[in-house]
Amino acid sequence: MKNLKIAGVVVLILLALLTIFVMLQPTQAHVERSIVINGPASAINEEIGRFQNFDAWSPWSKISPEVKYSIVTFEGFGGTFCSEIKLEPDGGGTKVTWIYDGTNDGLKGKLMWVLMRGRMEEQYELGLAALKKLIEGKPAPGDPALTPADSTATK
């Protein structure tokens, strides 16, 4: 019986420490990841500016290829959430920064932050790497690979 009491006290102490840890999380959530892509902002904007193109570089489409996306609003966690992508010139390329900002309201919001932050950072990095590969894999305008062969030319 004494061992059961000790185990109960240990569990309560661990729950109290976990609750304190969660409550110490920031009220404002922020994730920011960047990558430099060797390509013009216009080519990048063409990919990120169309919702239909999202699957081509989205980290989440690789996890669940059968998933279907739609734009919706939701309630339940409280607070405000925003995700954006900024493009800035960087030498001969473009610095692409994927940013998430949100609020962690109450215990539930802060607990979600504890559970999701590391995964979001990882997924943003994977998404940016996929976008880089997509953009840099396309022929640039004026590239000889885009020039049609002259069928009237003789050798």
Domains in the chain (CATH in brackets) are 27-139 (3.30.530.20)
Q: How far apart are CA 90 and CA 103, in angstroms?
A: 31
Phi, psi (deg, nearest 5) at residue 18: -60, -45
* Helices within 2-105 (DSSP H only): 2-23, 41-48, 54-57, 59-63
Q: Percent of the chain scored above 70 by pLDDT?
A: 81
How far is C-alpha 75 from the geometric centre of its chain's CA atoms?
21
Helix, strand, or coil (residue 121): helix
Q: Which of 31-35, 79-83, 95-99 has the lowest mean pLDDT?
A: 79-83
Please say if the pLDDT value at position 77 is more than 60: no
Question: Using one digit for the tens of pLDDT, what is the confidence trace for 13-50?
Answer: 999 998 888 888 888 889 999 999 999 999 999 888 88
The answer to whether residue 122 scores a pLDDT higher than 60 is yes
